[in-house]
Amino acid sequence: MSVEEASSQQASSDVVEAVEAIMRRLERAWNSADGAAYGEPFSPGADFVTIRGDLHTGRDAVVAGHQEIFGTIYAGSTMRYQVMQTRQLDDRVVLAHVRAALSTPGGPLAGEGASTITAVLLKRDGGWEITALHNTLITE
C-alpha cells in the first residue's frame, strides 16, 4: 500500500454501512419532523454549519435548529440522502460526502432543492457519531 493510499482509504463495507444507516436515521427523523431524533446520531459537542454559513455547536443546537425549520420553512418536506463517498481517515475517523435532495410542498422555499454535505464521523463506544457536518445548497 502506498503512503497516499494508507492516508486516505476507501472505508470498509461495514463502515460504509454504518454511515448509510446514520444517514437513513437522519432521513427518517427529517421526514417525521422529529428534531430530537435528528440530533441523536450527533456527538454532544458536534459542530454543524448550515446552508446559511452559521456554525452551531452541540447536539442540543442541532435538535433545536431542526425542530424550528421542521415547523416553519421546511414544514411537510421530504428529504433523501445519498452517500456519495466514504473515506477512512484513521481507525476512529471517517469522512463522508452526501448528496441531499429536498422536496418542500409550500412556503417560501417550495419546490425541489439539493445540497452537498461533508460529514465527519467519530467512533465511540463501538458505534459511530457525527462530530461535524457542513451543508451547502447546490446552485447553478
What are 136's strand-pairing partners? 116
The reply to whether 56 sits near a second copy by the rule CB under 8 A is no
User: What b-and-e string marks burial along 81-120, b requiring 16 or more CB atoms within 10 Å of the CB?
Assistant: bebeebebeeeeebbbebebebebeeeeeeeebebebebb
Q: Given candidates 52, 108, 112, 126, which one binds a second copy under the rule CB under 8 A? A: 52
The reply to whether 124 sits near a second copy by the rule CB under 8 A is yes
Residue 101 CA neighbour count, 13 Å, CB half: 5
The reply to whether 132 sits near a second copy by the rule CB under 8 A is yes
Q: Given candidates 16, 60, 61, 97, which one binds a second copy under the rule CB under 8 A? A: 97
The reply to whether 82 sits near a second copy by the rule CB under 8 A is no
* Candidate segments 18-26, 70-78, 104-112, 131-139, binder of a second copy by CB under 8 A: 131-139
Contacts of 84 (CB under 8 A, 6+ apart): 97, 98, 99
Q: Are 96 and 111 in contact (CB under 8 A)?
A: no
The residues that touch a second copy, with contacts defined as CB under 8 A, are 3-4, 7-8, 43-45, 47, 49-55, 84-85, 87, 89-93, 95, 97, 114-116, 118, 120, 122, 124-125, 131-132, 134-140
